[in-house]
Amino acid sequence: MFGRDPWGGSLEISHADSATDDDRSRNLQDLDRAALSRQLDETQQSWLLKKYVDLGCMVVSRKHFLWTVGSILGAALLVGLIVLIVKTLPHHRPRPPPPDKYTQALHKALMFFNAQRSGPLPKHNNVSWRGNSGMQDGMSNGGTKKNLVGGYYDAGDAINWSVIEYSAKYEAAGELEHVKEIIKWGTDYLLKTFNSSADTIDEIAAQVGAGDTSKDTNPNDHYCWTRPEDIDYERPVYTCHSCSDLASEMAAALAAASIVFKDSKTYSDKLVHGAATLWKYGRSQKGRYSPNGADSSIFYNSTSYWDEFVWGGAWLYYATGNSSYLALATHPTMAKHAGAFWGGPFYGVFSWDNKLPGAQVLLSRLRLFLSPGYPYEEILQTFHNQTSIVMCSFLPIFNTFNRTRGGLIQLNHGAPQPLQYVVKAAFLATVFSDYMETVGSPGWTCGPNFYPIEVLRNFARTQIDYILGDNPLKMSYVVGYGKKYPKHVHHRGASIPKNGVKYGCKGGWKWRDTKNPNPNTIIGAMVAGPDRFDGFKDVRTNYNYTEPTLVGNAGLVAALIALSDIRTGIDKNTIFSAVPPFFPPCRLLPQLGSHDRKTRKTRKTRSPGHLLSLSLSLSLSFCTIPPQGAFALSHLHGAASQISPPLQSLLR
């Protein structure tokens, strides 16, 4: 067959070439398989290995393969290097916010106790100008020799209570171990002052050293002005055989400390035993530790021991759970003798001579949280109501106490050294407001008017703020806090330089009388404070302005930790660790037995007596649950809209 050839001539079309496309494709595939099945010689294989890499699932170019692997390894090395650099460089985390002013002042206030230690000082005492002192105390006391080395110069309380209530705050501030060490330094010394291992005692070492200068000029702690480390005169020991006030106060301190150290059972038990021994002695040998004419009556004259009975009984009850202590502390006759119904100018003023206000707040806690009921309710309710009245007296609207123009409350009615009373009132106001908040009470009433708890806290803040410098003189009365504070503190150790020279009894007078600032700064010391006109004289010889005390600083520490901005609240349960339940534990309803199932089928034939018996048995299977956080309904009376107009300014 011929066709026309466009290039000329004829075109022959062969039938052999007329195979379909499918035939050609099959032929080509056969050729490919033949080629692949044919073995490559060594030259060909070598050439392929240089150009390609067989990965099993695929064949890739060697060049691309090496580039990919190198990139991955390089990236891995870079990431590892970055991680190494990040881990070795210091981390710049955002700094936590600075502590609030109350916490800052707390750190300093606690340092004061380190400066007041007597005896062999620990290496970490952190007061460079102090050293071992009083190393012969008690050993030169005539016929009776007793090791009375240690303790503090001066005395104080209230720290135990604040640690129990605010242990989480102390821990958050980084001061829990420090404050517990301060407490133990004091309780270890108290255990030395009597036979703490005995069940019965007949005397207590009440005072070491003398201070009366009215009879002669023999060297003593007031006549001489010398560093404690350089004391070389005899320091007599005064023992008492009938001192209910001192014994009960010591019992309260040891009992409270036993709760602080409850995790150390051996030491806690030792403290409880000592407290019980002191309490028994104080109750059996009634009398004041400072009778007329005694050296102690000149400086710390106790007016009564009944308030210490209430105070000590309350703490011993919390420490032991023994209801006999609570029964005595809440006995109406005890309350009467303690002055609960007397009133007077110092009613409600918590001080070293008047423990009743503190005891009333402490026992109000029991009523608020546990509501023990009969037979304690009568006096507990009385104490609770009286505490509310005391809190009302702190408010300026009632004019119970005068105030300086700068706002400082005059709890001691214009007498010198006001701050030790102010700080304790601030603590009581704050802790009582925390009690109310914890049980869900929004405030309390003073007569017909309702006041929210924030008003009470505002009172405490304004008083502590005054002490920290918010006053007409812009003077901080805590040494080392703020830019302006007293520089001539009435303190022997701080006023005499530690220069290797031993100044005798009269040799230190020149340091007492100099107008130069103290060579040593006694950090954290709260001085006696201003006068009733907001005036202050930074004069070393005028102790009414510039003398610090442990009793003052103890109250300051308690108020500062209570007011600090660390939001942990009070510890609701630790103080009740040893207190047994006032109500029987709940019992579940009994399950119906075979007899009950039988009587169900024949219940129409039950007699009235049987129904009564069944009713009683079911009712007895329940229990009475104490109203947690019970408080007087009067505390809920009114509303915020009923707040009297004069108080509106306090809330702004």
**Catalytically annotated residues:** 490, 538, 547
DSSP of 85-133, one letter per residue? HHHHSPP-PPPPPPPPHHHHHHHHHHHHHHHTB-BSPPGGG--TT---B
Cα 66 to Cα 56, 69, 78: the distances in Å are 16, 5, 18
Question: Scanning the structure block, which residue is given the tokens 């255990």?
Answer: 191
Question: Scanning the structure block, which residue is given the tokens 């004419």?
Answer: 293
Question: Scanning the structure block, which residue is given the tokens 């947690």?
Answer: 628
User: How far is residue 420's CA from residue 416's CA, in Å, rounded to a whole number?
Assistant: 10
In 3-state terms, what secondary structure has residue 61? strand
DSSP of 262-315, one letter per residue? TTSHHHHHHHHHHHHHHHHHHHHS---SS-TT-HHHHHS----SHHHHHHHHHH
- The set of residues, in sequence order, having a beta carbon less than 8 Å from that of 601 and lying 6+ positions away, is none
* Tokens representing residue 232 in the block: 């070389």
The answer to whether the beta carbons of residues 643 and 443 sit under 8 Å apart is no
CA nearest to 412, candidates 371, 471, 353:
353
User: How far is residue 327's CA from residue 283's CA, in Å, rounded to a whole number?
Assistant: 14
User: How far is residue 114's CA from residue 121's CA, in Å, rounded to a whole number?
Assistant: 9
User: How far is residue 420's CA from residue 415's CA, in Å, rounded to a whole number?
Assistant: 12
The answer to whether the beta carbons of residues 101 and 559 sit under 8 Å apart is no
Angle at alpha carbon of residue 537, lines to 534 and 538, rounded to 5°: 125
The answer to whether the beta carbons of residues 401 and 395 sit under 8 Å apart is no
Name the DSSP letter for residue 239. Answer: E
